[in-house]
Amino acid sequence: MAATELVFGLHAVEAVLQRPDGVVELWLDSGRRDQRLQALAAAAEAEGLRPHWVKRQELDKLTGGDRHQGAAARVRQAEARSEAFLDQLLTELEVPPFLLILDGVTDPHNLGACLRSADAAGVHAVIAPRDKACGLTPVARKVASGAAETVPFVQVTNLARTLRLLQDTGVFLVGAAGETQTSLYDADLCGPLGIVMGAEGSGLRRLTREHCDVLVRIPMAGSVESLNVSVATGICLFEALRQRTRN
Q: pLDDT tens, 17-32?
A: 887 677 889 999 999 8
- pLDDT tens digits for range 69-124: 999 998 876 566 888 899 999 999 999 999 999 998 999 999 999 999 999 999 99
Mean pLDDT for the chain overall: 90
What count of Cα atoms within 13 Å lies in the side-chain half-sphere of residue 124?
Answer: 19
pLDDT at 1: 46
The rounded percent of the chain whose pLDDT value lies above 70 is 95
At 233, the pLDDT band (50, 70, 90 cuts) reads: very high
- Element containing residue 109 per DSSP (H, E): helix 108-121
Q: What is the DSSP string of 148-172?
A: GGTS-EEEES-HHHHHHHHHHTTPE
8 A C-beta contact, residue 125 and residue 154: yes
pTM: 0.79
Dist CA 155 CA 30 (whole Å): 38
Query: Domains of the chain by range and CATH?
Result: 4-76 (3.30.1330.30), 83-245 (3.40.1280.10)
Q: Which amino acid is at 142?
A: K
CA distance 155 to 133: 9
